[in-house]
Amino acid sequence: MPEEEDVNPYELLGVTLESTEAEIRTAYRQRSLKVHPDRNRGNPDAARKFHELNQAYELLLDPLRRMALDAKVRVKEARKARFASYDNKRKGLVDELEARERAFKKARVEKEEKEKARWQENERIMEEGRRMREEREKELNRRETERLAGEKTPIAEDEPPTLGALDTTVRLKYSILSHPLLTTPSSLSSLLAPFGSVDEVAVVLSLKPAPPKKPKRGTALVPFRQIGGAFAAVCASGRADHGLGNIEISWAEGREPDLIGWLKKMGKLETPGEREGNRQLESDDLAGYASSPKSSPGQQATTPAISSFVPSYYSSFPSTFPDVPSLPVPSSSKNASGLDYESLTLMRLRQAERARLEREIKEHEAAEEA
């Protein structure tokens, strides 16, 4: 009957597979008294429960039917036990999987923390390296500055500084309207010849505007062979009594050469004011200097005012200062290969310096027009 498959007789009677027939009978009497319909008149399920209890009692008292039931119950219990073990194993697998996931997450977090710590350490090392490099560069710059300052500073106080490349060069600015003849290097050389020998080949002249238009003003860089001539020309800047009216003469580099400052400091060079006070004392020297041939045969004769002015500044310069060598001019009979190494090097330096000066003049004129 189908109830036998759904209802376990042992459970209905409250006995086990090992119970004897006597125990089964005792259990039946006890249960039947509880579920009998006469005692449960108000319960509509009392008759059904009492019927199921009788069916289970009859089945358990039949040896063959009980044997078959026992086999079925044992198989069912074995299946339940097997499923229970499966559940336990499945639960163990789930727990193991969760443990692995937790371990993986922990390892990943630790790896990220290690990478972050390593990145921070690298950043710290890089920052420390940058700081050390900057400090090293500052130290090198400081040492280089000290070295350059040491090179510029004379070894002894009484030792004169080195003569610079432009220390003997002066810059002239004038109006062509006031001086219409000053349009060639030779005319400038003749104008400044009373102050000293001029390197006419290295004169740089710029007329604004350039010919064929009528120029309005001129700018020139004139190198003297001695710094004394350049100093005398700068001191006579703008003085009409010396033929330099409306002509501004200044140092080419825009500042007084170190040698001039050293001569003043050492008391070997007097300023124009001091020289004016001592002009009477030097009249004999002036006369002697005026009688000496200073100008070349092609140069114009100096006026008395200029002749009396120039020696007063030259007389303060030591006679041991050498002339500045002029720029060699190669001819068809003697090419550059015939020059010695020193002359060739000097020629190249002067050519480069002349190109730089021309470029500076053009830039200065462009700035003035703007």
For residue 3, what are its two tokens?
A: 């109830």
pLDDT of residue 124: 92
Does a cis peptide bond (omega within 30 degrees of 0) precede residue 209? yes
Q: What is the dihedral of CA 341, 344, 350, 352, to 10 degrees?
A: -100
Q: Please tell me what DSSP assigns to residue 199.
A: -
Question: Tokens in use for 317?
Answer: 């310069």
Domain 2-61 fold is: Helix Hairpins (1.10.287)
Each residue's pLDDT, cut to its tens digit, for the chain (370 residues) gives 334 446 789 888 888 888 888 998 998 888 888 888 888 888 888 888 888 889 988 998 888 998 998 899 888 888 888 877 777 777 778 888 888 999 999 999 999 999 999 999 999 999 999 999 999 999 999 998 888 887 665 545 567 777 778 888 999 888 888 888 888 888 888 888 888 888 888 888 888 776 667 677 888 889 998 888 888 888 888 888 877 888 999 998 888 888 888 888 777 666 555 555 444 434 344 333 333 333 333 333 333 333 344 444 444 455 444 444 443 433 333 343 344 555 666 667 777 777 787 788 888 777 877 6
- Residue whose entry in the numeric block shows the structure tokens 């003469």: 249
Helix then strand count (H, E) for the chain reads: 12, 4
Interatomic CA distance for residues 59 and 15, integer angstroms: 13
> What is the per-residue pLDDT for 331?
39
pLDDT at 121: 93
pLDDT of residue 201: 84
pLDDT at 230: 87
Decide if 179 contacts 247 (C-beta within 8 A).
Answer: yes
CA distance 30 to 39: 13
Domain coordinates in residue numbering, the chain:
2-61, 169-327
**What gap in Å lies between CA 152 and CA 161, rounded to an integer?**
8
Its pTM stands at 0.41
In a 13 Å sphere around the CA of 232, the CA atoms on its Cβ side amount to: 27
Query: Of 224, 226, 256, 250, which is closest to residue 236 (Cα–Cα)?
Result: 250
Would you state the structure tokens that stand for residue 161, as one six-digit string?
Answer: 């500084």
